[in-house]
Every structure is written in structure tokens, then in C-alpha cells.
Chain A
């Protein structure tokens, strides 16, 4: 089965510093990977996805993610963190088992950006 793992429950970073939120994947076949962000009591917002092509994917709000096949990773990054980036971040992988194109989410990582 397809799965993703987010090894960190929480990431703390100072405003203006670069941030990284980690994600590793386990898939059969080509991985289709996604990052979403969730603010309190809200649904998820799409940030970016990797399907094929360049390993560095650029997304919304200045975020980017690097697909690394040898390390089976898809870490989310941002060069300079903002306090407003504080939220819950989910890595996800596409799963087409059962005939449906669905997303399986990681456990989530809470990002806290301090002023």
C-alpha cells in the first residue's frame, strides 16, 4: 500500500529563517506526491504536487518541495519563514488501489514560526 511518513510532530523555526518539513514515501510504481496546509478548524489548502519532471517543485505562498528518489523523500521547504506560515502541514500520496484515485495523508507536522 502507498504511504507517507512525517517523522516530526512539530517544527519550530524563527521568522526569517529557512524551514524544512520532512516527508518520506513508500510507493509501488511512480509516486504522485502532494503537500497541503491546514489552519485551525479549516479544511486543507493545496500547496504543491510532484507528478513527474523537475525534482524541485514550486508551489503556493513561496513554498517548494524537493523530490529525491534515492532517499524516497519529498521535503517541504521555504527560504524565509513567516509567522503566518504557522499551521499544520500534511504530506500525501496518491493511491489508486480499489480503482479510485484517492489521497493518503501523513500524520501531519505542526509548524510554529516564532517572531
Chain B
């Protein structure tokens, strides 16, 4: 299947700093990528839909200014957690869909675990 790569896998940062997480589709182009957040032992919550060349679409309750999303190219989307606080500590997962029918499955990155001290 298609490969989605996330970097970094683990990141620890101090409260108040910003952290950038990258999501790359390695062998396909993705005009749309999705960012999810997962708390321990909980489901994935969709944060936003990242669109190449345009602004991201955020889900209700997700702070746009806190979670900055940039879809710079057809193979790269970034999530920046600005002024991170301990409550932002979570597992962040990106996903992308290959081109073609919209009935296709999503391919997921391996996730990025953020710990804010």
C-alpha cells in the first residue's frame, strides 16, 4: 500500500515552545491530508483537513491559531503546535488518501507522540 511518513516520531518540548510535525506521502500525491489527535486509550479525533495550496479546514472546537497547518506541496503537510502546554501532549497522526475514487481507504503515518513538560 501507499506509504505515509511522519517526523518526528517522538518529541519532548518545554511549555511555551512551538513544535512542528511533518507528514509526507512518499510514493503518491495527496491533495488532501488529515490530522488526527489521539489521547491515551481513546479514539482518533479529527482535528483538521489539510488542503494543498489552500487553508486547512478545522473541526469544531479546534483552535486554528494553536494548531497551524500548512500543506505546502502535494506530498507534504505540516502541523505546528504553537505555544505548547502540557495539555497538548498527545499522539498526533496524519493520514492521506491516494488519488482516484473517494471510496479508497486512508493511509496513516506512524504517529508523532508529543510530550510537553
B-side interface size class: 20 to 34
Query: Taking A101-B102, A102-B34, A102-B49 as contacts, is the C-beta distance between A44 and B108 under 8 angstroms?
Result: yes
Q: How near does chain A come to B11, taking the closest CB pair, in angstroms?
A: 13
Residue from B42, B44, B93, B111 having most chain A Cβ neighbours under 10 A: B44
Evaluate whether A43 and B110 lie within 8 angstroms (CB atoms) in the complex, with A49-B103, A101-B97 already known. Answer: yes
Q: How far is the CA of A108 from the CA of B43 in the complex (A)?
A: 6
* Number of chain A interface residues as a range: 20 to 34
**Docked complex Cα distance between A41 and B10 (Å):** 10
Task: Report A110 CB to chain B, min CB distance, Å.
Answer: 8
Supposing A32-B103, A43-B4, A43-B6 touch, asked if A105 and B44 sit within 8 A by C-beta, the answer is: yes
Determine whether A63 belongs to the interface, using a CB cutoff of 8 Å to chain B: no
User: A43-B109, A102-B49 known; A108 and B42 CB under 8 Å?
Assistant: yes
**Which residues of A sit under 8 angstroms from B97, Cβ to Cβ?**
101
Q: A98-B57, A101-B97 are in contact. Are A41 and B34 (CB under 8 A)?
A: no
Q: Closest residue to B38 on the A side, CB-wise?
A: A38
Chain B residues within 8 Å of A74, by CB: none
Q: Answer whether residue B68 sits at the interface, using C-beta atoms and an 8 A cutoff.
A: no
- In this complex, which of B4, B95, B105, B106 has the most chain A Cβ atoms within 10 angstroms of its Cβ? B105
Asked if A46 and B107 sit within 8 Å, CB to CB, the answer is: yes
Q: What 12 additional pairs, Cβ within 8 angstroms, besides A42-B110, A43-B108, A104-B46?
A: A36-B108, A41-B91, A41-B111, A43-B93, A43-B95, A43-B109, A43-B110, A44-B108, A94-B103, A102-B46, A107-B43, A108-B43
A-B CB contact pairs (8 Å), 9 listed: A43-B4, A43-B110, A43-B111, A49-B103, A51-B103, A101-B32, A102-B46, A103-B46, A108-B42
A residues adjacent to B (C-beta < 8 A): 32, 34, 36, 41-46, 49, 51, 90, 94, 96, 98, 100-108
